[in-house]
Amino acid sequence: MKTQMSRFQIHDDLTAPQGSVPVLRGALASGGQLPNFLGVLAGSPAALRAYAKFRSELRHGKLTLPTLERIALALAEHYQSAPGIAMHSRAARNAGLALDEVALARDFNSKDPRQASLLRYLRALVEDQGHAPIHLHEEAREAGWDDEEILEAIAAVALEAFTAMVNVAGEVPVDGSNEASRTLQAA
């Protein structure tokens, strides 16, 4: 069996540029394992810090974790990011989404009409490079999504698109694959 290799080095706290080490240690403190994606992103301290700040801010917004995970699943599937699909499938289940909802989210859909309206709007934004028809925007608003939530959802799309592009462009292995995730050493 051939071991999948990332096009980018997957760093840990011993190999990462000094500017990335504090973020990597913070990720370890909160999660216990360093995802391959973060190990790759550590190759650019500025990109890693920007990603960490962006994700943190969105996690403290109005959107619920299940909504954010639906968006992440849809984008991972859109970009065919195997690491993203694997990670967000687990995270979505942990956030309370049933298996059928995980599958629907991967196709920008949901059995929940409110969630489905937002996902249809976001799909159009992604597929039409930001030019979603006004009726989809209005449909999301009529379903109860306010401007703050819609703007956060668009921001989540941008973040998850970035994540997926790094995973795909770098051929980053799925966490737990032959090129396993790193567990950082406590300093």
Burial class (CB in 10 A: 0-12, 13-18, 19+), 171: middle
Strand partners for 182: 34
In the chain, DSSP finds a helix count (H) and a strand count (E) of: 9, 0
pLDDT at 31: 66
Which of 186 and 129 is assigned the larger pLDDT?
129
Residue where the block lists tokens 């030019």: 131
What value does the mean pLDDT of the chain take?
90
Using 50, 70 and 90 to split pLDDT, how confident is the model at 13?
confident
Check pLDDT > 50 for residue 185: no
Check pLDDT > 70 for residue 178: no
Domains plus CATH for the chain?
65-167 (1.20.1290.10)
pTM, rounded to two decimals: 0.88
Using 50, 70 and 90 to split pLDDT, how confident is the model at 28?
confident
Instruction: For residues 97-115, give the mean pLDDT.
Output: 98
Report pLDDT digits (tens) over 44-78. Answer: 999 999 999 999 999 999 999 999 999 999 999 99
Check pLDDT > 80 for residue 176: no
Angle between helices 147-169 and 113-127 (to 10 degrees): 50
Q: 59-96 burial string, b = 16+ CB within 10 Å, else e?
A: eebebeebbbbbbbbbbbbbbebbbbbebbbebbeebe
> Is-contact 10 181, C-beta < 8 A?
no
